[in-house]
């Protein structure tokens, strides 16, 4: 099961990356940030259970940065929709 979790997390991050490179998603888009957040959080959790501390650091920071970007994007969307 562990390889499937890793592959799933990696696929989410790669979908976001490829979509951004193709111009389908912007890096500040909510969908892009959610894909990155979920993918990196899954990989960070899996690395934690496997005691792979370098990957915990990498994916944990990736998740935190994605979460920060998501908060900014959602606040921006919310403030622009308020009359």
The helix/strand/coil state of 4 is helix
pLDDT of residue 5: 92
Q: Domain count of the chain?
A: 1
How high is the pLDDT of residue 78? 85
pLDDT at residue 83, as a whole number? 62
Of the pLDDT bands very low, low, confident and very high (cuts 50, 70, 90), residue 1 is: low
Contact 42, 9 (CB under 8 A): yes
Sequence-separated (6 or more) residues with CB below 8 Å from residue 29: 73
Q: Provide the residue range defining the domain that includes 63.
A: 2-81
Judged on CB neighbours under 10 Å (0-12, 13-18, 19+), 35 is: buried
At residue 83, the 3 state secondary structure works out as coil
Q: Render pLDDT for 24-83 as a digit per residue (tens, 0 to 9).
A: 999 999 999 999 999 999 999 999 999 999 999 999 999 999 999 999 999 998 887 766
């Amino acid at each position: 099961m562990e390889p499937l979790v890793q592959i799933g997390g990696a696929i989410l991050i790669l979908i976001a990356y490829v979509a951004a490179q193709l111009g389908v998603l912007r890096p500040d888009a909510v969908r892009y940030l959610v894909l990155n957040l979920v993918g990196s959080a899954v990989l960070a959790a899996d690395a934690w259970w496997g005691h792979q501390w370098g990957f915990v650091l990498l994916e944990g920071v990736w998740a935190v940065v994605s979460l920060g970007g998501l908060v900014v994007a959602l606040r921006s969307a919310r403030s622009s929709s308020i009359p």
